[in-house]
Structure 1
Amino acid sequence: MLLQLNIQNFAIVRSLDIDWQSGMTTITGETGAGKSIAIDALGLCLGDRATTNVVRPNCKKADLAATFEIKKNKMARAWLKQHELVSEHDSECILRRVISAEGRSKSYINGSQVPLVQLKEIGQLLINIHGQHDHQLIVKANQQCRLLDNYANHLPLLSAVKHYAQQWNKLNKELEMLQQSKQQREAEQQLIQYQVTELDEFSLQPDEFLTLEKDYKRHSNAQDLLDSTLSTLQSLSENDNFNILDSLRECSENINSIARVDNQLTDVATILSDTLIQLDEANNDLTHYYQQLELDPQNYAIIEERYSTAVQLAKKHQLSPENLVNFHSELKQQLASISGDETRINTIIEELEQTKLHYIESAEILSASRQKSGKSLSKLISKSMQELNMPHGQFCIAVDNNKKQENGKDSINTNGIDTISFQVSINPGQALEAMHKVASGGELSRISLAMQVILADKVITPTLIFDEVDVGISGPTAAMVGKKLKQLSKNTQVICVTHLPQVACKGHQQLFVSKLTDGELTETKVSELNESNRVKEIARLLAGDKISQHSLANAQELLAS
């Protein structure tokens, strides 16, 4: 429940501290005094949008803080623990909002700065605010559906319906995309298939082109290789008149011979000996190479043709021959992907059918529950309307189970397959019609209030605020409104901004809002009324500014009742 609200430099409030009690608190005051100012400040603590004009004139910032008792609020305690925002006194939660004159704001939970969205999240677990314009919303179809679902606690059923609807819409978009590009894919498939077939027939293997290139160069330069090799062998060993190996061998033998006499030639002898060994090995390797260099013209023709084809294919696809194998592999993958798209289309169609079946099954369960809950809520609202000075009032929630849209296409909506319509009859013999067609503004206000009181009993928040929801109500109707709100306060903290004495007198606590001015600055004050001042305020609400003994007696009677 709400324990305290501290307001600094907000609108026409300089400084204000309000302590709240359990049960029912009523807030009254003169017209224009700012009876809703505390509710507005509280709304900012709960994450409402802030503007620059909320800061009191000539002040740098507005500072607002609301303290809540959460000892019995398991969901709020769990949320704070999840976000690591538990205070030292874990039975309390303090929401704070600081707004600068430039419009910038900072948000705090238990002293820790947080994003504004977190104020909204925790706020929904602490307070539920009903505004004076709520009756304008209940004529809208989406709001009517939401009210019924809130009453029936349909969140789990709605979640299932929403899941299948979103899944169906996602699959349907994917199917449309694939079908729209089908013609383009078919043309692309024909081209890629031709390219793959051509490369399949050539069947170039990994690293084969490097081998082809080496063999091609060797075969195409065969004569040069033969001539150069033979000439070198002649110089090294095969020329009978003079060759390098014979001359080097003779030199090596001579130096080895005289090195025995003078050891200073030992290193030279070793070098000549090693060189002779290496040159002899080179001669042997070259002889072996020459003997193997017999090139087959037929094999060369095959190599030349394959090498040329690889170069032509690479040029055709604008890449280097070394990348031809990878390109071939990529084309195969593209072809498989295109073929996979066709398979995916068939799979999606099957998945769509299954998802639609699951959706309809979930939506029909939700629809059945809506129809059952609609009958129950209709009876409660009809009874409440009759108690609120509409003695012949009848209320009906029409749930139209509509699986098909007007154009015949499947209706897959995240909200289910139902059209919800609130229908009323105010006068005897009058047929039920859409609420906005037959109910006046005052009647809509009373119907809205009846709904809010009934639905408030279903909400999980420990504090309910009614901000002038009794506009357009008076007399016996007002007394019944006060009675209903007080009944509600047995289990929930109720705060009600009102101008009706019949409602104000029902509060366990009554706050009075006044406006003071010195001609230059205006300031709003909120004070808790004691018993005698409460009698005077109720009398003022009954009779206006001229309070008589009769109005005072009426006020005492209302308070006593």
Structure 2
Amino acid sequence: MLLQLNIQNFAIVRSLDIDWQSGMTTITGETGAGKSIAIDALGLCLGERATTNVVRPNCKKAELAATFDTEKNPAAQKWLKSHELNQEDSHANFECILRRVISSEGRSKAYINGSQVPLAQLKEIGQLLINIHGQHDHQLIVKSSQQCRLLDDYANHQTLLDEVKHYYKQWQGLNKELVLLQQNKQESEAKKQLIQYQVEELDEFGLQEGEFSTLEADFKRFSNAQELLDTTLSSIQLLSENPSVNIIDSLRQCSDNINTLARMDSQLNNVAILLSDALIQLNEASSDLTHYYQQLELDPESYSIIEERYSKALQLAKKHQVSPENLVSFHQELSQQLQAISHDESRIDIIIHELESTQNYYRDAANNLTRSRQAAGKKLSKLITKSMQELNMPHGQFAVDISEGNITDGMGTSKGTDVINFLVSINPGQALEAMNKVASGGELSRISLAMQVILAEKVVTPSLIFDEVDVGISGPTASMVGSKLQQLAKNTQVICVTHLPQVACKGHQQLFVSKLTDGEHTETKVTELSEQSRIKEIARLLAGDKISEHSLANAQELLAS
């Protein structure tokens, strides 16, 4: 429940501290005194958007703070704990302080239990702490979307709503993907044919990783085979087989000579070793060269095969504008592109099947939601009919009409397939019709209040604020409204801004809003009324500025009742 509201430099309030009690609190005051100013300040604490004119003139900033007790509010406790915003002090463990600071330039800061937070978090926690019903709420209930929300709030079937929304969003995502794939399919049909032809051509050629390097080496060897043979043979002859000029024999003779001299002079030992090593290497070179010559083949058939494959690789590389070394990787890339296009086509079939399944799941979920709404609608119709008759509409009838809306591709909306309409009849024999065609402003206000009271009993909120929801109501009806609000206050904290004495007298606590001015400055004050002061204020509401003994007696009687 709301414990305290502190307001500094807000609108025409300089400084204000209000302590709130459990039960029902009524707020009254003169016209223009700012009876709703505390509600406006509280709204900012709950995350409403602020403008620069909320700051009191000639002040740099406005500060607003609302303190709540969450001891009997496990949902708020859970939220605070999950966001690590709960109070660490054990004495204030159940306190939740929402604070808002607004500068004269319009900048705003939000705090929860002293920690700065995004404005959205004030809204989140605010919905768990308090519910504000404004004086114009009754104008909203003529809209089908608002009627649907009210019915869903009463039915309290959030799980069904979430399920319908889940399948609707899933269907939207699949449908969007399908449209995109179908567009891509049309655009890529020609591309697919080209890639398929290219892949088949490269598949048929079948060049392997690293094969081109081997082909290139083999082609060079075969194309220069005669030169290799001739030069190799002449080199062998020059080294060891030419009887007139034989390098190895000449080197052997030289080595033998130096070895003989080295035995005479040790300074030639190193030269002798070098010549001996050179002779060994030349013998090895001659042997290897002879072996190479003997193995070198000039097979025209092999050469023809290699030449053809090497030329084809060069031709394909030029055709696809890649280097021959990259032809294999290019082939792989084309294959992957073709596979992706083929995958998209198969994905289209999968999505179509998934869409059908999702539509079926959606329809089942939407039908379950419809049945829940129908059951809740019957109960709500009886309750509101009864409340209308209690609120001075003795022949009033109320009904919730649920019909199927426009269905496209087997789908409704994220809120189901239902169109909700609240129908009313005010006079005997009058057919049930849409609310905005039948009910006057005052009647709409009473019907709205009846709904709010019924919903408040169904949807548990620790604190409820009614900001002049009794506009257009008077006499016995006003007394019944006051009784209903007082009845509601048995289970939850109720704060009601009112101009009706019949409602004001039902409060367990009454606050009076006054406006003071010295000609230059204006200031609003809020005072908790004593029992005697309440009699005078109720009398003022009954009789206006001229309070008589009769009006005082009437006021005392109202309070006593």
| Coordinate RMSD, CA, aligned | 1.6
Counting only pairs closer than 5 Å after superposition, residues 226-241 of structure 1 correspond to structure 2 as 226-241=229-244
Query: Match for 2:376 among 348, 373, 378?
Result: 373
1:412 counterpart residue number: 412
CA distance in 1, matches of 2:11, 2:366: 48
Does the alignment pair 1:292 with 2:320?
no
One-letter amino acid of the counterpart of residue 2, structure 1: L
Alignment partner of 1:203 is 2:223:
no
SS in 1 for 2:395: coil
Q: What residue number does 1:280 align with?
A: 283
1:311 counterpart residue number: 314
Q: Out of 141, 146, 159, which is 1:143 matched to?
A: 146
CA distance in structure 2 between the partners assigned to 1:150 and 1:49 by the alignment = 25
Partner of 2:456: 456
Task: Answer yes or no: is 1:188 the counterpart of 2:191.
Answer: yes
Matches of residues 538-549 of structure 1 in structure 2 within 5 Å? Answer: 538-549=538-549
How many angstroms apart in 2 are the aligned matches of 1:170 and 1:412? Answer: 15
Q: Distance in 2 between matches of 1:6 and 1:282?
A: 104
Give the drift of 1:127.
0.7
Q: Tell me the distance in 1 between the aligned counterparts of 2:254 and 2:519.
A: 128
Q: Return structure 1 stretches of 4+ with deviation > 4 angstroms.
A: none
In 2: Cα distance, 1:207 partner to 1:344 partner: 35
Instruction: State yes or no: 1:476 paired with 2:476.
Output: yes
- Report deviation, 1:328: 1.7
Q: Deviations over 1:268-319 (max 9, x none)?
A: 3333322332333223222222222222222112111111111111111121
Partners of 1:339 and 1:400 lie apart in 2 by: 44
User: Which runs of structure 2 are paired with 1:108-187 in the superposition (5 Å)?
Assistant: 108-187=111-190
Is 1:514 equivalent to 2:514 in the alignment?
Answer: yes
> Counterpart in 2 of 1:93?
96
**Which residue of the partner structure matches residue 62 of structure 1?**
62
| 1:560 paired to 2:560 | yes
Unaligned runs of 5+ in 2: none
Are the equivalent residues in 1 in contact too, given 2:11–2:53 (CA < 8 A)? yes
Change (3 A) 1:91 1:231: same
Report the 3-state secondary structure (helix = DSSP H, G, I; strand = E; otherwise coil) of the residue aligned with 2:525.
Answer: strand
Q: 1:196 and 1:163 mapped to 2: Cα distance?
A: 43
- Looking at structure 1, the residues matched to 499 and 254 of structure 2 have their Cα atoms a distance apart, in angstroms, of 131
CA–CA distance in structure 2, aligned partners of residues 235 and 524 of structure 1:
122
Between the aligned partners of 2:373 and 2:94, the Cα distance in structure 1 is 37
2-structure distance, mates of 1:110, 1:29: 32
In the alignment, structure 1 residue 264 sits paired with structure 2 residue 267: yes
533-542 vs 318-327, greater mean Cα deviation? 318-327
Q: How much has 1:451 moved relative to structure 2? A: 0.6
Q: What is the rounded CA distance, in whole Å, between the counterparts of 2:322 and 2:370 in structure 1?
A: 62
Deviations 1:136-170 (CA, angstroms, capped at 9, x unpaired): 11111111001000001010011111111111222
* Native 8 Å contact 1:125 1:460 kept in 2: no
Contact 1:130 1:469 in 2 (8 A): yes
Contact 2:362 2:411 in 1 (8 A): no
User: Shift of residue 244 of structure 1?
Assistant: 3.0
Looking at structure 1, the residues matched to 355 and 80 of structure 2 have their Cα atoms a distance apart, in angstroms, of: 40
* Equivalent residue pairs, number: 558
SS at match of 1:15: strand
Q: What is the one-letter code of the residue matched to 2:435?
A: M
Equivalent residue for 2:252? 249
CA contact (8 A) 2:27 2:511 kept: yes
Letter of the structure 2 residue corresponding to residue 463 of structure 1: S
Which stretch of structure 1 is more off in the superposition, 372-381 or 544-553?
544-553
Deviates more, 1:358-367 or 1:255-264: 255-264
What SS does the corresponding residue of 2:34 show, helix, strand or coil? coil
Deviation of the 1:261 alpha carbon: 3.6
2:229 counterpart letter in structure 1 = L
2:5 is equivalent to residue 2 of structure 1: no
Aligned to 1:551: 551
* Whole-angstrom CA distance in 2 between matches of 1:473 and 1:72: 34
> Could you tell me the TM-score, scaled by structure 2's length?
0.96
Query: CA–CA distance in 1 between the matches of 2:252 and 2:268?
Result: 16
Tell me if structure 2 keeps the 8 A contact 1:222–1:295.
yes
